[in-house]
Amino acid sequence: MITVMLVDDQAVVRAGFRVDAVRRLAGGDGLVDQAVTRRVIAEFARRRPAPAADTAAADQLTARETEIVGLLATGLSNAEIANELYIETSTVKSHLGRAMTKIGARDRLQTVVWAYQNGLARRSAAER
């Protein structure tokens, strides 16, 4: 016999969502649907004029770090970047972490903003 327990405690439900979120992050996924992430990035790029580039920070990035930051700015997850470049997800995380340290970004969103501000990500004609 299977017993079904209904949960009426919001704290228990929130904890379940947190566990799911941690599992998704550990698997290389984001917490926001990738389609939403791509639309937010496209809208940001469409609305914001490109400011002057921070060439000093950009010059500190290796070619691979630059490539990964550029792919991140297109809305790809770590797993998708790894597939695109034929490398491990852990390698993407390492490169991205070093790049974020070099440019002074505290999270992925700041890294994407920095990429657009510094020409590592380009607005497509359809997004302008």
Question: Which pair of tokens denotes residue 5?
Answer: 């327990």
The per-residue pLDDT for 125 is 39
Interhelix angle 108-117/63-73, rounded to 10 degrees, is 100
Q: In this predicted model, what pLDDT tens digit does every residue of 37-84 receive, in sequence order? A: 777 777 777 776 555 556 677 789 999 999 999 999 999 999 999 999
- Quote the CA–CA distance of 34 and 100 in Å, as a whole number: 20
Q: What Cα–Cα distance (Å) separates residue 13 from each residue in 3, 30, 32, 94, 119?
A: 18, 20, 19, 33, 42
The per-residue pLDDT for 80 is 95
